[in-house]
């Protein structure tokens, strides 16, 4: 069993050496070296890119339970001055994935001395959660077919919630979101003769107005849940006073509490954007980035988390509404029959996630470990 001091040292080492999405080679090697002394029954490397999976088998038949962690950091310059601050310029663990990795490593140490009685436990470290690509890469990897879980679980630390308190709910836990990029193409002309060109200026402005009004229109159509549209960038032509613009781009984040709501947002945003572009003789195209589907907890998955909290005497609350931030763990719960993600409070005074002064609270490591361990005990049993 690793001591808490050893786990904190690991967490701080990971914090000092962050890597961006799909570049987590050194982080994966560090985790692999930690797990070698745990003697897992199977090790899968290069899963979905830099991902890893460690399998602990029981002696009797039973379900496969997967616990997921994330490897990647963010392109954010850290402003903290403590001794374990990031040593990589412009990159830092500002979402707490260093802490999540330490929790699941601690879980590996426990499984090394108390194997599951039945079925198997898969501890998965995925790449590229921050871009929404990592979970897709993992579940689409041919090697994942042999690891496919019956139950899948994950946690995420959550600033603003009391330190060590769990928040969970059945149904949608994290919202679906995606970045939508709208390209408008007209015809550039001299600013003295704008009539010789086709400017996308009016269409760009009208599209932005329609996008801002879209959430309220969808509610009126009877689509359940809440929806948000946030215009994050717009660009028209170039800074050249002698030129009437011929190109424009609008970037927007679409967000919904359901995958159905996301589909409606996309469908209607594309429809009115095409209509407006055609009316002005513009060509139009769409791109999508940072695509996250909604992460949906099953009732059984939620109940298993609550049971673990009650057994471990960990305070918890059942959320009335989903978290508005997005997470790609929904790929795993869509694959497994049952499962859940839950939030673990990082404290009410903690800086928010993705803030340059955020740091993961080390006191959460044993709490997260013990909740996961009790979920495994409920599903797979534990020797000893």
The CATH number of the domain holding residue 286 is 3.30.70.360
Same-domain check for residues 134 and 206: no
Q: Can you tell me the distance from the alpha carbon of 358 to that of 352, in angstroms, rounded to the nearest whole number? A: 6
pLDDT confidence of residue 223: 79
The answer on 94 and 30 residing in a single domain is yes
- 147, 44 Cβ separation under 8 angstroms: yes
Could you list the pLDDT tens digit for every one of the 384 residues in the chain?
Answer: 579 999 999 999 999 999 999 999 999 999 999 999 999 999 999 999 999 999 999 999 999 999 999 999 999 999 999 999 999 999 999 999 999 999 999 999 999 999 999 999 999 999 999 999 999 999 999 999 999 999 999 999 999 999 999 999 999 999 999 999 999 999 999 999 999 999 999 999 999 999 999 999 887 787 778 999 999 999 999 999 999 999 999 999 999 999 999 999 999 999 999 999 999 999 999 999 999 999 999 999 999 999 999 999 999 999 999 999 999 999 999 999 899 999 999 999 999 999 999 999 999 999 999 999 999 999 999 997
How far apart, in whole angstroms, are the C-alpha atoms of residue 333 and residue 342? 12
Structure confidence at residue 225 (pLDDT): 86
Collect all residues with Cβ–Cβ distance below 8 Å to 313 and sequence separation of at least 6.
none
pTM for the predicted model, two decimal places: 0.92
CA 334 to chain centre: 14
Among 292, 311, 343, the domain-final residue is 292
Report the C-alpha gap between 105 and 35 in whole angstroms: 7
Q: How far apart are CA 187 and CA 196, in angstroms?
A: 8
pLDDT of res. 96: 98
34 a known binding residue? no
CB 160, CB 324: distance < 8 Å: no
Q: Domain of 259?
A: 176-292
User: Which residue has 């799909």 as its token pair?
Assistant: 22
Measured CA to CA, the distance from residue 40 to residue 42 in angstroms comes to 5
281 and 299 inside one domain? no
Residue after which a domain boundary falls, among 292, 308, 330: 292
Let me know the angle formed at the C-alpha of 268 by 264 and 269, rounded to the nearest 5 degrees: 115
Please check whether residues 51 and 157 belong to one and the same domain.
Answer: yes
What pLDDT score does 1 carry? 56
Answer yes or no: do 163 and 221 share one domain. Answer: no
In order of 77, 105, 183, 254, 365, the CA distances from 21 in angstroms are 15, 20, 26, 22, 23
Write down the pLDDT at residue 219: 79
How far is the CA of 260 from the CAs of 226, 284, 315, 324, in angstroms?
A: 11, 25, 33, 16
Structural element, H or E, at residue 42:
strand 42-47
Is 331 found in the same domain as 274?
no
Instruction: Reduce the secondary structure of 332-354 to three states and give it as a string.
Output: HHHHCCEEEEEEEECCCCCCCCC
Evaluate whether 282 touches 186 at the Cβ level (below 8 Å). yes
Give the residue carrying structure tokens 């199977």.
42
Please indicate, yes or no, whether residues 53 and 165 belong to a single structural domain of this protein. Answer: yes
> What CATH number does the domain containing 354 carry?
3.40.630.10
CA 383-62-112 angle, to 5 degrees, is 35
Place of tokens 């939508």: 180
Based on the fold, state whether residues 273 and 239 are members of the same structural domain: yes
Is residue 137 located within the same domain as residue 209? no
Q: Which two tokens stand for residue 244?
A: 């009437």
DSSP type of residue 116: B
Please tell me the chain's helix, strand, coil percentages from 3-state DSSP, rounded to the nearest 5. Answer: 35, 30, 35
Say whether 15 counts as a known binding-site residue: no
pLDDT of residue 102: 98
Last residue of a domain, one of 250, 269, 292: 292
Count up the domains in the chain and report the number: 2
- For residues 27 and 72, state if they share a domain: yes
Residues 216, 74 share a domain: no
> Contact 96/11 with Cβ under 8 angstroms?
no
What pLDDT does 61 receive? 97
- If asked whether residues 229 and 298 sit together in one domain, one would say no
The pLDDT of residue 68 is 98
Is residue 233 annotated as involved in ligand binding?
A: no
Strand partners for 318 = 168
pLDDT given for residue 221 in this prediction:
80
How many CA atoms lie within 13 Å of 79's alpha carbon, on the beta-carbon side? 6
């Amino acid at each position: 069993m690793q001591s808490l001091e050893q786990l904190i040292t690991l967490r701080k080492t990971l914090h000092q050496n962050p890597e961006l999405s799909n570049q987590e080679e050194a982080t994966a090697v560090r985790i692999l070296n930690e797990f070698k002394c745990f003697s897992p029954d199977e090790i899968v490397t290069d899963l979905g890119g830099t991902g890893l999976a460690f399998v602990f088998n029981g002696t009797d038949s039973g379900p496969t339970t997967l616990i997921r962690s994330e490897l990647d950091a963010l392109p954010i310059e850290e402003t903290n001055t403590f001794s374990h601050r990031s040593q990589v310029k412009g990159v830092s663990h500002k979402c707490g994935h260093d802490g999540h990795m330490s929790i699941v490593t601690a879980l590996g140490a426990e499984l090394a001395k108390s194997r599951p009685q039945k079925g198997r436990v898969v501890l998965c470290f995925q790449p590229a959660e921050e871009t929404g690509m990592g979970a897709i890469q993992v579940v689409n990897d041919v090697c994942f077919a042999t690891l496919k879980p019956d139950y899948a679980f994950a946690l995420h630390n959550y600033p603003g919630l009391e330190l060590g308190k769990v928040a969970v709910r059945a149904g949608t836990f994290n919202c679906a979101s995606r970045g939508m990029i709208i390209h408008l193409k007209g015809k550039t002309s001299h600013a003295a003769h704008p009539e010789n060109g086709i400017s996308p200026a009016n269409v760009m402005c009208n599209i932005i107005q329609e996008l801002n009004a879209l959430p309220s229109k969808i509610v009126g159509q009877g689509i359940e849940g809440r929806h948000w549209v946030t215009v994050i960038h717009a660009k028209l032509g170039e800074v050249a006073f002698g030129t009437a613009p011929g190109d424009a781009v609008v970037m927007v984040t679409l967000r919904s509490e359901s995958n159905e709501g996301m589909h409606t947002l996309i469908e209607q945003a594309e429809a009115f954007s095409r209509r407006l572009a055609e009316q002005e003789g513009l060509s139009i195209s769409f791109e999508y980035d940072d695509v996250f589907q909604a992460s949906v907890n099953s009732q059984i998955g939620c109940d298993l988390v609550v049971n673990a909290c009650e057994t471990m005497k960990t305070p918890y609350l059942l959320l009335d509404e989903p978290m508005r931030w997005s997470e790609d763990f929904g790929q795993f719960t869509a694959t497994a029959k049952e499962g859940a993600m839950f939030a673990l409070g990082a404290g009410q005074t903690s800086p928010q996630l993705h803030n340059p002064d955020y740091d993961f609270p080390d006191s959460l490591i044993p709490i997260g470990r013990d909740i996961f361990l009790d979920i495994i005990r409920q599903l797979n049993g534990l020797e000893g």
